[in-house]
Amino acid sequence: MTTIDFTAEVEKRKDALMADLFNLLRINSAMDMEHADAENPFGPGPRKALDAFLEIAERDGYKTKNYDNYVGHFEYGEGDETLGIIGHLDVVPAGSGWDSNPFEPEIREGNLYARGASDDKGPTVACYYALNILKELNVPLSKKIRFIVGTNEETGWADMDYYFEHCELPLPDFGFSPDAEFPIINGEKGNITEYLHFAGKNAGSVVLHSFKAGLAENMVPESATAVISGAKNLQVALEKFVAEHVDKNLRFDLNEEDGKATITIYGKSAHGAMPEKGVNGATYLTLFLNQFDFADGAAAFIKVGSEKLLEDHEGEKLGIAYVDDLMGNTSMNAGVWSFDEATEGKIALNFRFPQGNSPERMQEILQKLDGVVEVELSKHLHTPHYVPMSDPLVSTLIDVYEKHTGLKGYETIIGGGTFGRLLERGVAYGAMFEGEQDTMHQANEFKPVENIFKAAAIYAEAIYELAK
């Protein structure tokens, strides 16, 4: 039985932890494929964040390995079994609506504001310091620990595909990802994006020249912009529309010149795993446009958005809804939208689905939608994942959580996807506490500073209990 006061050990390292975290948060590590190359597979930002993290580990005496700027890892300790800890350093795009620079971290009223503070640089650094406490105290362990950091978690997991293909070591035997919430995430729904393709045609008296919305498939689009021609009295119509949906706090911009009108509708972003927490600007823009005389592909694109996707987060209007007794419902986020009159229209539907539902079932149903010319499945598929409560990994992590919080632990199954599911015996564990506001993927993302330190203490004891 350990007598280490992990909370006190974290207290001694608070300043160092925050200094390292601030340095990582200052790096805009959102994917940037426009500037990607062989040395920067997801753009310069994710690479820079990986370099910075591995420099911290080397400073502290770990022997690191960088897998061609996709993923980095280091190992600590000896043993026949390996405990894996898997975090990520990439972030979703900052988007608009911030009260401060998203890449210049600020502490206000006890909260640390920055893109990545909560997802996932804050928790990853807390976990790193937890392991470092065991190393600095030279605590005897019977298992090897492998700390892995990825750079493409938010947009495709190509980092981990590369890692598993090129890593010369066997996979960890069990482990966790500090990229969700306490007490534990031991079940995750499947995850697939299905792309609806429409003809980029117009034949009505009103023409849709273009439509654009969404920064990532796993984010609710905060805003959407359409360029149209042939519609009259748009200012009055938009004012009436916003007034009719005052409960959604919609805003609009309108610019009319050279016979074309550019309309932007603003809603509210949210994580794609919980689309009901946002206001999808794209669906509301299609609802506004649906009153006008569009035809062909443009009309089909607008009708699907306004009549099938608006305020339907489980796919009931589409006919793809499915509920499982253990894992719950299917959720849907219409995350990225595009329409070009010269080419095509496209809507990316990101589904989080339970056991019993399947991508092929949903694809077959979606292909019957009026005006949809093709339904394409993303190459990136996660099948449903579950580790039972009886597994010692789960029971140990819940015990540590209960000890540190005084709260009762319980199992949770989510629609979000974490790196925990990469291991057959893998879960997600923290770092968001019960009652803590979830600001992941939103403007003004923040993490309460004290909860970063509290999580670090929990992680330290958890690693000790799993590897002692």
Nearest Cα to 455, choosing from 84, 4, 7, 3?
Answer: 7
Pairing of strands 207-213, 223-229: antiparallel
Q: Is the peptide bond before 462 cis (omega within 30 degrees of 0)?
A: no
How far is Cα 324 from Cα 339, in angstroms, rounded to an integer? 35
Q: Give the full edge-to-edge strand order of the sheet including 446-448.
A: 106-108, 111-113, 446-448
- Cα 266 to its chain centre, rounded Å, is 21
Largest separation between any pair of C-alpha atoms in the chain = 77
Output DSSP code: residue 170: P
- Cα distances from 399 to residues 62, 262, 282, in angstroms, run 29, 56, 44
Q: Give CA torsion, residues 166, 218, 329, 181, to 10 deg.
A: 70
Number of C-beta neighbours around residue 449 at 10 A: 18
Distance separating the N- and C-terminal Cα atoms of the chain? 10
Residue 404 host element (H or E): helix 392-405
Q: Which token pair is 438?
A: 């979830």
Q: Under DSSP, is residue 317 helix (H, G, I), strand (E, B) or coil?
A: coil
Contact partners, residue 28, CB within 8 Å, separation at least 6 = 45, 91, 94, 103, 115
Alpha helix (H) ranges present in 13-153?
A: 14-25, 44-59, 121-136
SS (H, E, C) 146-169: EEEEECCCCCCCHHHHHHHHHCCC
Nearest Cα to 183, choosing from 396, 391, 2?
Answer: 396
Are 204 and 293 contacting, i.e. CB atoms less than 8 angstroms apart? yes
Number of C-beta neighbours around residue 253 at 10 A: 12
Q: Which residues are catalytic?
A: 90, 153
Burial of 5 (0-12, 13-18, 19+ CB in 10 A): exposed
Contact partners, residue 359, CB within 8 Å, separation at least 6 = 190, 192, 194, 351, 353, 377, 381
Radius of gyration of the chain (CA): 23
